[in-house]
Copies of this chain bind each other. A is one copy, B any other.
Amino acid sequence: MTNKLRIALIGAGRIGQVHARTIVQRVPSAQLVAIADPMPNAAASLAARFGVATATTDCIALITDPVIDAVMICTPTDTHAAYIKAAAAAKKHIFCEKPIALDLGETDSAIAAVAAAGVTLQIGFNRRFDPNFVRMQQAVAQGVIGTPKIVHIVSRDPAPPPMSYIRVSGGIFLDMSIHDWDIARFLMGSDIQEVYVQGGITVDSAIGAAGDIDTHVTLLRFENGAIGTIDNCRQAAYGYDQRAEVFGSAGSIETSNNYPNNTTLSTATNISRDLPLNFFMERYAEAYAAEIESFVLAVTTKSPPAVTGYDARKALIAGLAARRSYDERRPVRLAEFV
């Protein structure tokens, strides 16, 4: 038992609950030893549910508690950097939800703190662990489609989040699209060099009133000369739409959506199937588990994590550049943000 990685969960909200379940049920080499959440009862309630011994509202105290080996930071974005620095100072390994921060300077100082401490930091880009994207990335990396030339990513939500969330989200480019900048880099094995955005308000004018947009298509150029597009919309009538294609010199690989079943119904009207799995909790259920397993394995085997602070930084810059492109109506090179 004492050989297990002792993890503290910081933040008992929706994604924190997902990770708690994963550690308890699927990762025998780890143990969830404590939960912290500033909201009264949030940590205690979750701890009771999964038989976790310790619950507290003092996040910093838990992060520095000598009994733990690693922290899992699932709090709101504006606290990530501070908690990463605290954990690094206490020599704890860190799994942190994306993004590290909405600000490049804060992101860099958090990454520097991790580097100085020599601990492991993995970022929660869960889609990298989805069986579909994994399969695509392998095919590209193994050369099955030759030299990759073009990537298309479609990522549309079933419905926009509440306006209260939208207002603190950092905007579509840093909140929703952050996964897509990362998957684009993951699939293509190259950094984004330039973005040009077309977008606007097509779902809800309240989102526009909050200074954000809800729909965009962004044209990308990668460092290796490849081209890409990202299509994001806060609402698709038919549900969660998560697809991609990579086209290369020797072929193409694409993924369709995941469905709750594989039945086809033929009636006098049409030939139909049920709607796709409705949202990220269902679609990426397996990916959420796989990313935690990957983190624990990286720490326990002292291997590099699958998703690094550098990856978080690169996705952040793409989001900042996209926002500038949208605001200034011009192509923006990511080098403007170095």
Contact = CB atoms under 8 A, between A and B. Distances in A.
Interface in A114-132: 131-132
Nearest to A136: B263
Each complex incorporates copies of this chain amounting to: 4
A277 to B, nearest CB: 11
Contacts of A144: 265, 267
Interface in A265-295: 265-276
Contacts of A260: 131, 135
Interface in A135-168: 135-136, 139, 144-147, 149-150, 152, 154, 156
Nearest to A198: B227
A178 to B, nearest CB: 20
Contacts of A38: none
Contacts of A268: 237-238, 250-251, 275
Contact of A271 (B25, B215, B273): B273
A68 interface: no
A4 interface: no
A266 B249 contact: no
A270 B274 contact: yes
B261 A255 contact: yes
A218 B229 CA distance: 9
Nearest to A232: B150
Q: Residue among A231, A237, A241 with the most chain B CB within 10 A?
A: A237
Interface in A242-272: 247, 249-258, 260-272
A132 B262 contact: yes
Contact of A266 (B235, B253, B261): B253
Contact of A261 (B135, B221, B229, B250): B135
A233 B245 CA distance: 15
Contact of A237 (B202, B217, B250, B331): B250
A263 B271 contact: no
Closest 5 CB pairs of A and B: A251-B267, A238-B266, A272-B272, A219-B219, A270-B272
29 contacts: A132-B261, A132-B262, A135-B260, A136-B263, A145-B265, A146-B237, A147-B202, A150-B231, A150-B233, A196-B331, A199-B227, A200-B225, A202-B225, A202-B249, A215-B227, A216-B227, A218-B219, A235-B249, A237-B266, A237-B268, A238-B251, A238-B268, A251-B266, A253-B263, A255-B263, A258-B262, A266-B275, A271-B275, A330-B331
Interface of A: 25-26, 131-132, 134-136, 139, 144-147, 149-150, 152, 154, 156, 196, 198-200, 202-203, 215-221, 225, 227-229, 231, 233, 235-238, 241, 247, 249-258, 260-276, 329-331
